Structure 1
Amino acid sequence: MPRIDWRSDSGSAVAEFSMVAGLLTLLTLAVVQLGLGLLVRNTVLDAAAEGARHAALADSSLPAGEQLTKQLIATAIGEQYAADVSASYGTWHGQPCTQITVTTTLPLIGLIGVQHGLEVTGHAAREVLD
């Protein structure tokens, strides 16, 4: 019967490759998911700011700003992310402004995630004609 040498490295490359490849795959997917979450956040924030700028114009209104925000979000990432959009007048650093607030899904696995987990607000200085 042949004698087994337990100190040999024979066959260990397959096991090491499997462990390292699994870890690197998991790390890569986590970085991609973080990038997707930041993309959704930045897209929704930009749409809210653009809607606030539109609603702040002297010849525009809050519903027009909400509609533009919903349209931009639906075009960029999907209609389900544009479900909860609200607009209001307020003050920002002591100045009158228009605020558009978007509450949407925070993506955790792909585009699936926590409902109402992400809330962003866009502000714009109001134009007034005196």
Structure 2
Amino acid sequence: MLVVPLFLGILQVGLFLYVRNTVTAAASEGAHYAAVLNREPGDGEARTRELVDGVVRTELIESVAAEPIDVEGQPGVRVVVKAHMPPLGLWGPGIGFTVEGHAIKETGE
């Protein structure tokens, strides 16, 4: 009786960490992709969606947004991914989370 909820809890934590780490890596890669010379933030957003779609169910991703930012006086790119994890069992709340990836933009100087 005690083993099943414990097992589901451990499984939920493991799945959450897997999804969060995967989405974080995709956001970081998307930001680096958009930071290359002659690319726009929209390119990083598309790259992030492509990476996430290959690994995580698309229903878990609420939004992906990329925008230019200023990083200590340097032009940069930020990719923000909002996602959620539904509960595994019949009880408990889902877990919503937001991750970001940042990169300094390449310049032609």
TM range (shorter): 0.7 to 0.9
What root-mean-square deviation, in Å, do the aligned CA atoms of Structure 1 and Structure 2 show?
1.8
Question: What is the TM-score when the length of structure 2 is the normalising length?
Answer: 0.85
Q: Which stretches in structure 2 are left out of the alignment for 5+ residues? A: none
Aligned residues: 105
Q: Higher relative contact order at CA 8 Å, sep ≥6: structure 1 or structure 2?
A: 2
Matches within 5 A, 1:20-31: 22-31=1-10
Q: TM-score with structure 1 length normalisation?
A: 0.73
In structure 1, list runs of 5 or more residues that go unmatched: 1-21
- Asked whether the 8 Å contact 1:74–1:82 carries over to 2, the reply is no
Aligned counterpart, 2:54: 75
Partner of 1:42: 21
- Of the three residues 18, 29, 33, the one matched with 2:12 is 33
Contact residue 8 and residue 88 of structure 2 kept, 8 A: no
Runs of 4+ displaced beyond 4 Å: none
Q: Does 1:58 align with 2:37?
A: yes
Identity %: 35
Please give the per-residue CA displacement for 1:25-59, whole angstroms capped at 9, x wherever unaligned.
Answer: 21111011100011111111110000000000002
CA distance in 2, matches of 1:65, 1:82: 16
